[in-house]
Amino acid sequence: MFLKVQDDDGFGIIEIMELKQLFDPFAKTVCARLHGGEELQDQQDYLKKDLSFPSGEPLPRCWYDPRYQSL
């Protein structure tokens, strides 16, 4: 799955390596690989709060907030 990340250089597209980690509301970060240039980048952790879908739509609240049902 590809998502967009806001960083210091603007926006970048990342490939999520562990979807289970993305869907876990208790995980604050997700392991992903930045897609930039022709060379494969190293995996690193990204904060879920900095991620959105490539269309700009935010992630579903149940993916990052463990108390999403209490509201």
pLDDT of residue 18: 92
Contacts of 3 (CB under 8 A, 6+ apart): 13, 14, 16, 32, 51, 52, 53, 54, 59
Q: What distance in Å separates the CA atoms of residue 69 and residue 49, rounded to the nearest whole number?
A: 18
pTM: 0.83
**Predicted confidence band at 4 (pLDDT cuts at 50, 70, 90)?**
very high
pLDDT of residue 12: 86
The domain locations on the chain are 2-70
pLDDT of residue 38: 80
Tens-place pLDDT, residues 7-62: 656 678 999 999 999 999 999 999 999 987 788 889 999 999 999 999 989 999 99
Task: Indicate whether 71 pLDDT > 70.
Answer: no
Of 6, 39, 51, give the one whose Cα is nearest residue 61: 51
